[in-house]
Structure 1
Amino acid sequence: MTTDRPITGADLAHERSDAAAQATDGPTVIPVALVDAPYPVVVGRDLPEVLTAIDLPAGAATALVVTQEPVVAAGHVDLVETALRDAGLTVHRHLVRDGEVAKDADTLAQLWQVCADVPLTRGDLVVAVGGGVVGDLAGFLAATWNRGVAVLQVPTTLLAQVDAAIGGKTGINLGGGKNLVGAFHQPIAVACAVDTLATLSPRIRTEGLGEVVKCGLIADPGILDLLETCAADVLAGDPELLQELVVRSAQVKAAVVAADEREGGIRAHLNLGHTYGHAVESLTGYSEVLHGEAVAIGTVVALRIGQRLGCTPDDLVERADALLARLGLPTRGPALDREQVWSVIGRDKKVTRDGVRWVLLEGLAMPTVQAVDRADVDAVLDDLLA
């Protein structure tokens, strides 16, 4: 299934049958068609099967697996390490702390020392097994160790499979904001196995839907149709539906990244919901509100800003708000000190000399980027928090 054009509800039944056929035939391979560093996103039901479709770097002798204890407990890391050993690699494992707190300079420095102790050479491999935190951290490790080594992304959360693991954005957080230190470093492949999602708590699986809804809003309306039609089954973890959502969302991201690797243009559209969402994450300590939940809150804020400016149609605002709520995602954020909000937003990477640039929607699958006056943003936040 390709996404050469926006997908509408009229296509839904045909596409769902295509997704079922893909699941039967084996993993779906979605190319990220970068000129200098193309790579596949492989989406399938079973982790060992997905891993067999990945080509490892020729000459690699050692792999450093970066992961977290819950991912080990779920059994995913053993499967990855078995596949690596079967390919002839010596495997070392390093656990980092759970949660967003692992994305800091101290953890990165510890990982550099681990690489030195192994030792990991320029021809070897870093393997990220886990959610977006592990992917961002291990990806930045790979970008910086020996001035760049290969990284294989094995995302085990919905949020990471549809967004964080694809596109080569890596980084760590500072006290002043999220992902302020990082690098673009594309993986050799992204291995997405939907069966890993069955081991997640309902909240962790649901937060990933914040990024899925975003993909539907900016590029693939059929995603919204599917979520509206099958919300209960998606929330229950139906593997066929989740596989289709991962495939379609990955296709959206792969196409955008291939067209604009370093966010000089349309890749900014992937930031819908992130400007305010990152401020929510930062000011609640990266633990009270999960990333996908913050994106949902930020998406509502962005749509309401567009509505206030006469840019975003009323029915689209109401549709998105209702769908996010139906999926169990928050649509209103916690009360935050407004000056602190603007302090965090002012340090965001999306700020230019023209001001804070927000991703808005002129219509479904019609994203635009505009500088917005603070007065308009504050008015929307006042209304939402009233």
Structure 2
Amino acid sequence: MKNLFLKWNEVSLVKRILVGMIIGIIFALAIPDATKWVSIFGSLFVGALKAVAPVLVLFLVMHAISKHRTGQQTNMKSIIGLYAASTFLAGLVAVVASFIFPVSLTLTSGADDLTPPGGIVEVLRTLLFNIVDNPVNALINANYIGILTWAILLGIALRSANDSTKNLLESFSNAISQLVKWVISLAPIGIMGLVYDAIVTNGLSALLDYGKLLLVLVGCMFFVALVVNPIIVYVNIRTNPYPLVFKCLKESGITAFFTRSSAANIPVNMTLCEKLDLDKDTYSVSIPLGATINMAGAAITISVLTLAAVHTLGIQVDIGTALILSVLAAVSAAGASGVAGGSLLLIPLACSLFGISNDVAMQVVAVGFIIGVVQDSCETALNSSSDVLYTATAEYAKKRKEGKAVKISA
């Protein structure tokens, strides 16, 4: 039994996850009534990731900032620039696709109990209050903006601490990182439970009426992942981007697709950055930051669903307004993590640009929840995998400028 366990651990994590997916599909088809004891594995896995992620972010960022010396170079400016550019371009792709493949909706009710933000000012206000949140409350509620803020401030304050304090902080950071590795090793069992639950609970029949809308949404996300992102990477590193793109999609995107949580995928991304041999001082900050502001998938969702409402109501849109929508979608998407309901609840904000009433906009949000089984999974996979992609891109671009060889393994 011990030898079997050791051999199982020698198999790559991605292959083990694929085995878990296959078992989950078989169980869903063979024993659909066993929901209580099969799907619990998925819930436990996601719960464990969500439990460890806030503490991981706090200690890793604190440790990275406390070690930072004046004059020490990091790639954070480049990474933030890449995050912003990719989110805007994703919104622009969604706008163009919505004009080429216009979608009309049969609007329904069902979102009356949701409260969207009243404007971009409210989104920014929410973000500011998340920044000044109580640190204990931020950890309990997984408010990553607040956690990041406290981690950075405490890290700066600890830069003048003695070596013993910094060593203790490093020991805590390493211990939590080890806990994360243990949790991630359970991914195949967790994915099995998540796949089982998705197939048993959410049949595909409910999605047929919204097939065209879903195709436009998912098509845009695939286009960004496989065309736009590689172009951005190539412009920066001037070498074939696809080995890096596919590695990020394979090792980060697959897990994010099933967990449907950028926050839960932070430990997975941290481990992938370590495998790519990236600078820990950089990725310990850029990965949790990306989970809060790098939202290309959210920008696509906001743009496509907003323009679906526009086409349904027969509103004419000029090029200038479409560009403004791309910018608004990018800015709103960056604030999506600070709003209950994520990207879908920011649709009324974008709809207000075209004078669409809140009642109609909230019906569009209801449609978003209907297709959310697929939409949210693809959105999270794109968002989370690109956090690692652009962190690696910034570091490889820096090496290229320094004349160092850049080698990316598939």
**TM-score over 0.5 (shorter chain):** no
**TM-score, normalised relative to structure 1:** 0.27
Which has more strand, going by share of residues? 1
Greater RCO, 1 or 2 (C-alpha within 8 Å, sep 6+): 2
Which has more helix, going by share of residues? 2
Larger Rg: 2
